[in-house]
Amino acid sequence: MALKRYKATTPSRRFYTTFDFSDLVRKEGISDSPPRALLSSKARSGGRNHFGRNTNINLSGGHKRLYRKVDFARNKFGIPAEVVAIEYDPNRSARIALLHYADGEKRYMLAPVGLTLGQSVMSGPTAEVKVGNALPLKLIPTGEPVHNIELKPGGGGQLVRSAGLGAQLVAKEGGYATLRLPSGEIRKINAECLATVGSVGNSEHQNIELGKAGRSRWLGRKPHNRAVTKNPVDHPMGGGQGKTSGGRHPCSPTGLKAKGLRTRDNKRTQKFIIRSRHVKAAG
């Protein structure tokens, strides 16, 4: 897969990049449309809460989407499945793979790097350690890259699901596996939790340049005004003559501190974090 660039026929086209979608493949005889059982409607909030009040002024619009039901739990143990298609998903940065299980069921999973059409994948303790298979962390060799990692056994994958990401399994001891997450955090996770072998595909996603404002609107993002350009009635940092700093610490429209204030306050799971992502690695 590669990025597609355009001739600079207009100012926005000069930096506009898209995917060439050469990585999207499907087996002969498989419909171009996603299975209807794996689709559901997806309502948009437009940035409004359940009272109908706009609580996110930079969110609205966007192209209509259908949600693809991706199997993050990978709880169909011991049954092999064939990869019959690798598809685009408008709701996430990663690609998704359509699986046809031996018992006739169809499911989606995240498509890792190296997953090929026609490949057989499986989940559970009896699965082989290869790309696309989901196993308990205790059965995965140290040093392997993993993604779609559970935080609780049977709870479904929650960590490392975006395009191009992969966590490294660095140690196993005392019923826990130690993982180095993409953020730099080193964390202990129950060794019974499932993880999928390999890194998430579509790593070129980070190199996409939108090129024009309208493309942001397609994604549901409205134009963003800096706080200091607003009036005092609209933002605490607004007002003043000329380019003023706002007269107070950077904050949100409701006055909450911004730019670096740490909001994590979960003492129950703090003991599992060996090294915070905020601490720079030595060397």
Domain boundary assignment for the chain: 3-206, 226-276
The CATH number of 3-206 is 2.40.50.140
pLDDT at 237: 87
| Contact (CB, 8 A) for 41 and 91 | no
Convert the pLDDT of each residue in 172-221 to its tens digit. 999 999 999 999 999 999 999 999 999 999 999 999 999 999 999 999 99
pLDDT at 247: 65
User: Distance (Å, rounded) from C-alpha 275 to C-alpha 173?
Assistant: 17
Q: Work out the angle at residue 229's Cα, subtended by the Cα atoms of residues 223 and 233, and round it to the nearest 5 degrees.
A: 100
pLDDT at 240: 85
pLDDT at 80: 96
Instruction: Give, in order, the Cα–Cα distances in Å from 119 to each of 82, 115, 140, 190.
Output: 6, 7, 20, 29
The radius of gyration computed from the CA coordinates of the chain, to the nearest angstrom, equals 22
Quote the longest CA-to-CA distance of the chain: 70
Question: Which tokens sit at 102?
Answer: 């031996």
Which residue from 200, 190, 106 is spatially nearest to 150, judged by alpha carbons?
190
pLDDT at 281: 58
Task: Provide the whole-model pTM.
Answer: 0.90
pLDDT at 282: 54
Question: Which tokens sit at 74?
Answer: 């990978």
Check whether domain 226-276 has CATH 3.60.15.10, yes or no: no
Q: Which residues of the chain have pLDDT under 70?
A: 1, 245-248, 281-283
